[in-house]
Amino acid sequence: MELEGRSALVTGASQGIGESIALALARRGMRVYAGVRSVDDGERLAAAAGTITAVRLDICEPSDVKAAAARIEAEVGAAGLDVLVNNAGALTLAPIEHVTLDELRHLFEVNVLGQVAVIQATLPLLRQAGGRIVNIGSDAAKFTLPLGGPYGASKAAFDIIGVALRREVREQGVTVVAFQPGSVTTRLWDRILADLRAGRSTWSDHPSYRGFAAGVTAVAARGRHKGQSPDAVAAAVLRLVAMRRPPVLQRMGWDARVRSLTIDLLPTRMVDNMIIKRLTARDTGSV
C-alpha cells in the first residue's frame, strides 16, 4: 500500500505504543487521526507531526466513538478510511479468586467492547477505501500466567472477534491483521510493578498467591527492562500497513514466539508444571 496521502485512525495514541504508531504513520505521509483522552496529549502529538489530527476518543464512551467517526467521515469524504489501528487497551493483574467484577468488566469494556464499537463505527469508511485493520493483541491470550487470567481472557475474546471479522470482511475488500508484540517497555508496566512491589492489592500478601506475585513481578521487571521499544513496535506496524499482502497473524519478539511454541509443542500438564515451578522459585531472576 502506498501510504502518502492515505488516512489512518490510531486508538490509544496518548502515549506508549499508540503514540509511536501515530508518529510513524504520519512521518510516512499519512493523515493520522490520533485518538487521545486529553487536550495536552493532542496538542503534543499535533505539534510533533503536521499531518496528525488529535481526536477526543475514549473508546468506552459511545458519544466519543460516534463523534470521532463522524469527523473522520466529514474530512475524508468518498475516499474513506484506509487504516484502523486498534491499540487502546487496559491491563490488570489479579488471581481469579480476588479480581473484582468491576475490574473484570473494565478490562472487557476496554479490550473487547470498546474495540468493537470503534470497528462498527468505522467499518463503512474502511469498506469505501478497501482499507486495513490492525488489531494490537497479546500472546497472553494464548500463554497465560497466574494472575494474568482476566487480562488474557479479554485479549483472547478480542482475538476470536478478530478472526471472525477477518473472514466476514475479506470479500468486502477489508484486510484484518492480528499483531502480537512481546514485552514492550511502556510506562504501563511502571504502574503495575509499583503496585505489585508495594503490595497495594489486597491479595498480594496472601500466602496462596505471594509466590506468584513475586514471580510475576520478576517477569514484568525483566520485560520492562529488556522488552522492545514502542518505536520498534511502531516500525513493525508500519510494515504491516504498507505490505501488499500482510500475514493474518504477526508475532514480534523472541519471547512471544517462544511462548507460543511452548503452548503448541509441549503437553499441557508439562507447561503448567513449568510455569508454576518457575514463578514460585526462590530465585525469581531465573523466570
Residue with cell 512481546: 182
Distance of CA 112 to the CA centre of its chain: 11
- H-assigned helices in the chain: 16-27, 39-48, 62-76, 101-108, 114-129, 149-169, 188-198, 210-226, 230-242, 254-265, 268-279
What is d(CA 67, CA 194) in angstroms, rounded to the nearest whole number? 36
What residues does 249 pair with on adjacent strands? 178
| C-alpha pair distances (Å), 12 with each of 58, 85, 222 | 8, 9, 24
Q: Which residues contact 122 (CB under 8 A, 6 or more apart)?
A: 9, 69, 72, 81, 84
Residue of 143, 151, 158, 189 with catalytic role: 151
Q: Which residues contact 148 (CB under 8 A, 6 or more apart)?
A: 93, 140, 216
What is d(CA 261, CA 76) in angstroms, rounded to the nearest whole number? 42
Catalytic: 33?
A: no
DSSP character at residue 163: H
Which positions are annotated as active-site residues? 151
